[in-house]
Structures are given as C-alpha cells and as structure tokens.
Chain A
Amino acid sequence: MSNIDVSEVLSSMLAAAQGVFDQKWPQVKDFAETEFEKLAKTLSQIEKLRITKQITEGEASVLLEMQKNTARTVMLALEGMGLVLVEQAINAALQVVKDMVNGAIGFVLI
C-alpha cells in the first residue's frame, strides 16, 4: 500500500502550475491535468515497489531521478505552449497596429 495520496499530490501540482500560468491556464489546463496525473501515479508506483522490496534502494533512487526528468520534460512542453500563446497574443496586437497604419495612410505600407 502506497503512502502517497495521488489525488493530493495531483491537486498540489495543479495549484502550483495554475499560479504560474495565470491567465494562460485555461489553454494548457487539459494537457497539464492529464500529465500531472500520470506523474503522480508513477511516483506512487515507485513507492509501492520499494515498500514491497521489489526494487533496491539504488534502483528506487534511479527511478526517482528519471521521474524528476520526466516531470521536467512535461514542464518544458508547458513552457513552450505558453510561449506560443504569448507569441500569438503579441502578433495579434502588432497586426492591429499594422491594419490601423495601413488604413490611415490609404495604402499598404507595412
């Protein structure tokens, strides 16, 4: 029996990520929820294997390191998704300026 409460770990991770992503959270929420749940479940699985002595202390420490790395990969994907959203917001704002300038001078300047 694992001592890790998957739903508790999941809600803590989601709360932390939501704070960081702030207004962009709704766009990445589905991906983050699914991935964080997988992370929490694997963590619980590693703990179970160690408690039942199916893996050694050394093996458990390698698995935990690999799991940290997996979490980093997910975070990098989220970071990239966030940057794409920021980029789209900036470019949409620039397009508005462009349309205003071209409209004001009566021909396509930019």
Chain B
Amino acid sequence: MKCNNLVNFCFRIFLLSVAIFLSACMPIQLVSDYDENIDKGAAALHKKIDSYFVSFGSMSSDERKYKNQQKFYESVVVDLNSLKVRTSAIYKNELTEEQLDIVEENVAYLLLLHKGCVTSKLTTEQKKNIKQNGIDTSVNCKKSHGASSDSSGHGDKTMNAALVTPIKSMFDQKFGAIMALELAKKRGEE
C-alpha cells in the first residue's frame, strides 16, 4: 500500500514536471496583437482633429467661437470613447490604453484653452482635476474639470490663434506614436 502511494506520488510529480516544461516552451506574449480597428480608428480621429486645426485659420471669428465648435468637440469625445472601449477589450493592451488616456487629457486641456478657462499658471490641483474628471464639453468653466475658477457662459470665447500650430503638432505626434506602436505589434508580419 505504501509502495503504491509512492509510485502514485512520483507519477504525479512527473506529470507536473512535463506540464511545466511544456508550458515553458509555449510562445509568450508581452504586448497585444495588432488590431486593424484601433489602427484605422486612431487614423480617422487624427484626420478629424487635424482637419479642424487646418481649417481653423480660414474660419470666420464667429465660427471660431466655442459654442459653434461644441458639436465638433462632442463628436471627438464620442470617437475617443469608442476607441478606448475597443482598446480595453484586448489582452495585453495597457500601453495603448494609456496612450489614449493621454489623448483624452489633452483634449480636455484643448477645451479649457478654447473656453478661456485657464487664467493663470496651472496648479497641481487643476492637473489632478483634469486627470480625474476628464473632458467638460459644456460652455462653462468648472474648477472640478481643471478651470482656474467656476464661471458660466464661455460659448462666445475664441481660441488664441497662436496656440493652433503647437497644439496641432502635439496631436500629430501623439497619434503618430499610437499608430507606430500598433504597427510594431504586427511583429514584422504583413
């Protein structure tokens, strides 16, 4: 009886060792696979934001008012959310998720600039509020969303035209980085 138990134990150890060895030889994955929807979604969103900045120069002063661009910003938020949901559903995709969180944060900053909600140097609390509460597409300035103070009726504000070039470059670079990482996930396959 004791001998049978020993044989049984040894057999189990052997099976466990084989299982460990086999699993050790399986390919490992540190980053998600390439996803065409994320690649195309990021390219489409980039094109949308880029077109906005390119056309900003030829917009009339009335068109430049926040209230007349509010729908555009709302559609950017919708596209971004949809891309984030898709990204979070994919295994080992944390890096792209984080990149999209950063894009969202910068869209929040863009809206604050357009509405004229930042009247002095950003404080640590403002930055924290932006991270925590994200984008506010309303025509108001809210401290809870990173504004310097609470105030309403900023729909007639226009964005300082000098800001357009650097902001456009930053969005170009961010989306370029997202797409570069997505393409790297192809791992040399076509």
Contact = CB atoms under 8 A, between A and B. Distances in A.
Interface in B43-80: none
Given A70-B174, A80-B184, A63 B122 contact: no
A87 B96 CA distance: 17
B120 A91 contact: no
Interface residues of B, number: 47
Given A58-B118, A58-B148, A110 B162 contact: no
Say whether chain B's binding surface is mostly helix, strand, loop, or mixed. Answer: helix
Interface in B65-116: 95-96, 98-99, 102-103, 105-106, 109-110, 112-113
Say whether chain A's binding surface is mostly helix, strand, loop, or mixed. Answer: helix
Contacts of A86: 30
Given A55-B160, A58-B118, A76 B24 contact: no
**How extensive is the interface on chain A, given as a class?**
35 or more
13 contacts: A54-B160, A61-B122, A66-B110, A66-B167, A70-B102, A70-B173, A77-B99, A80-B96, A80-B184, A84-B187, A87-B28, A94-B27, A110-B25
Given A65-B122, A88-B187, 9 more contacts: A49-B162, A58-B120, A62-B118, A66-B167, A67-B170, A76-B99, A77-B181, A81-B184, A84-B185
Interface of B: 21-22, 24-31, 95-96, 98-99, 102-103, 105-106, 109-110, 112-113, 118-122, 127, 148, 160, 162-163, 165-167, 169-170, 173-174, 176-178, 180-181, 184-185, 187
